[in-house]
Chains A and B, each alone.
Chain A
Amino acid sequence: MQNPLRRITLLFPEGVRRHPASATLVAYVHGELPPSVRARVSRHLQHCKCCEKEALAIDDDLLYFKRLMAVVETSAAMEDGLSRLEQCFESRIAEAPVPILPKPETRLTSALLKSIQNELMTYVGSRAAERILARADRSFCTPQNLSKQIELTMGGFIGSRAAAAVARRVDALCGAMVSHQGIP
């Protein structure tokens, strides 16, 4: 936790009654200051014409920058890019080493994830269960390899033998779910 006194010194280098730092003023104009500091800067601006003028100029400067950057905006470049992108779609599919669009039935359904999460919660608690499933989710697990992934992840928490037992339980759950949906 940052020392509040140090924070105030950073925001108002010349003292609380003096002018705020330029970064503070910029953050004030952008509405990015915490309420307490915001109120303080607001009070200061009521009395200080110099800072008020400075604050008004900030938006103007950003607008100026936006106008300058608009000079590189061209629809021609974008159209060219779009046609190139569409051409690349096909070539990238050919290059892609991963299987494209796995069949829906080989992917984890939310119902299956929910029942597995309930199962895991009894062993490692709700937060760890969520994390383990999120990791499986990121690794594009299927019902077939989910138990292996869970065994690997949980091994670190509850030991390899217990993790293997949990994995068998998950396997059974996946099997039940798959047969329930009529998937071979």
Chain B
Amino acid sequence: MWKSSIETTVAFDGGAEQGSSLEQIQAEVTESYKSLAQCLLRYLLCLTRDFDRAQEAVQEVFLRYYEYRLKGGEVPDGRGWFYRVARNYVVDQTRTHRPDRHVSLNEVLLKADDHDCPHEALARTETLDLLFQVLSARELECLELRVEGFKYKEIAEILGIEPGTVGAILAQGLKKMRALRVKIVEESGRCKTP
């Protein structure tokens, strides 16, 4: 479970702040990176569908966090702040640079080469590739945030939508995913029969 290390440092409070040095802030950022970066990367992959862009965005988010902490800012709502900043950054980037909306299968495979069973990793990567084609960015985002344990209200805050809409988007995404799953099972069954 991620716990904000920032909670221990209170800005605008003389007593707590005296202990907040540059090294301490760097340690805080590093600690947050270790606990959050993987989740953020997966979320941003859903949003950008591009591994390198997602990785770059993760870097940018933590650098912004570092700068923010240097200025004395504090993050009241924990990890939600990181997801919001990440999303805003990617949306801003997308306005200036229109990305290729299709994730490269080989690229993801390359990143998945440390899995135990290469066949299983390949099958999952192919399914993921199909899923990225079928689901919209918003559906993927909602699913990923829900999988990370966010409540509907938090998801709504990150995406800037009504909490009631989150359930509808999730239902739509799950419906499409189930249809895809059924299709994959049917096709694999057809391949096995002589």
Interface size bracket, A side = 35 or more
Q: Quick one: given A25-B171, A72-B51, are A78 and B37 in contact (CB under 8 Å)?
A: yes
Flag if A23 contacts B67 (CB, 8 Å).
no
A96 to B66, CA, bound (A): 11
B30 CB within 8 Å of chain A: yes
Say how far A49's CB is from chain B's closest CB, in angstroms: 18
Q: Is the CB of B14 within 8 A of A102?
A: no
Query: Given A71-B125, A72-B111: A81 and B33 within 8 A (CB)?
Result: yes
| Chain B min CB distance to A91 (Å) | 9
One of A38-46, A55-63, A118-126, A153-161 at the interface: A55-63
1/0 per residue A41-85: CB within 8 Å of B?
000000000000000011001101111111111111110011011
- Contact of B63 (CB < 8 Å), options: A65, A75, A82, A92: A92
- How many interface residues does B have (CB within 8 Å)? 58
A14 within 8 A of B: no
A80 CB, min distance to chain B CBs, angstroms: 8
Contact B67 A82 (CB under 8 A): no
Return chain B residues, CB-CB under 8 Å to A173: none
Per-residue A-contact encoding for B55-97, CB less than 8 Å = 1, 0 else: 1001100110011001110000000000000000000000000
Evaluate contact between B128 and A85: CB separation under 8 angstroms: no
Query: Which residues does chain B contribute within 8 Å of A30, judged by CB atoms?
Result: 146, 152, 167, 170
- Closest B residue, CB atoms, query A66: B147
- Whether, in the assembled complex, B161 has its beta carbon less than 8 Å from a beta carbon of chain A, the answer is no
- Check: A94 CB closer than 8 A to any chain B CB: no
Q: How far is the CA of A169 from the CA of B67 in the complex (A)?
A: 34
A24 touches B (CB below 8 Å): yes
- Among B17, B21, B111, B178, which residue has its beta carbon within 8 angstroms of that of A107? B17
**A73→B170 contact, CB < 8 A:** no
A180 to B15 CA separation, bound complex (whole angstroms):
16
- Report whether A85 and B63 are in contact in the complex, using a CB–CB cutoff of 8 Å: yes
A132 contacts chain B at the CB level, 8 A cutoff: no
> Does A179 interact with chain B (Cβ within 8 Å)?
no
The residue of chain B having its C-beta at the shortest distance from the C-beta of A24 within the complex is: B167
In the assembled complex, the CB of A58 is this many whole angstroms from the nearest CB of chain B, namely 6
Which of the listed residues A70, A75, A76 has the most CB atoms from chain B within 10 Å of its own CB? A70
Most B CB contacts (10 A, CB to CB) among A65, A78, A92, A113 go to A65
User: Is B26 on the interface with A (CB-CB < 8 A)?
Assistant: yes
Q: List 9 A-B contacts (CB under 8 A).
A: A21-B171, A22-B174, A64-B177, A71-B128, A74-B114, A77-B51, A78-B41, A85-B63, A98-B70
Given A26-B167, A62-B146, A65-B143, 6 more A-B residue pairs with CB atoms under 8 Å apart are A81-B33, A81-B55, A92-B66, A104-B18, A107-B72, A109-B12
